[in-house]
Amino acid sequence: MLWKSQSLPILYGINMLQMVDGTTSPPEEMITVESKKIINPEFLEWKKRDQILLSWLHATVTPSVFTQIMSYKIAHSTWEAIE
């Protein structure tokens, strides 16, 4: 697929391929620090990167493909749907 062959080098180059290909999982959303549950800063960073990537995926597909993927909320599931 042309779209995939254009996207893979970019994702590899910006070190985000693992976010779409499923080789990494998101960190835990909540962690316990000093007996308190808090939002994991690593999760917040992952979420930020994921949403940037999701937006990029949306911007690089045709309108007809976009209508099929617009309900996905994370980059990995969006990538799988496009493949």
Query: What pLDDT score does 83 carry?
Result: 84
**Phi/psi at 44 (5° precision):** -60, -40
User: What does pTM read for this prediction?
Assistant: 0.87
With bands split at pLDDT 50, 70 and 90, how would you rate the model's confidence at 76? very high
Q: What are the residue ranges spanned by the domains of the chain? A: 2-82
**Count of other CB atoms within 10 angstroms of residue 52:** 14
pLDDT tens-place string over residues 6-52: 999 999 999 999 999 989 899 999 999 999 999 999 999 999 999 99
Query: What pLDDT score does 2 carry?
Result: 83
Q: Are 63 and 78 in contact (CB under 8 A)?
A: no
Nearest to 6 by CA among 61, 44, 46: 61
Query: What pLDDT score does 53 carry?
Result: 95
> Which stretch of DSSP H or E encloses residue 66?
helix 63-69
Give the pair of three-digit tokens for residue 53.
């990537």
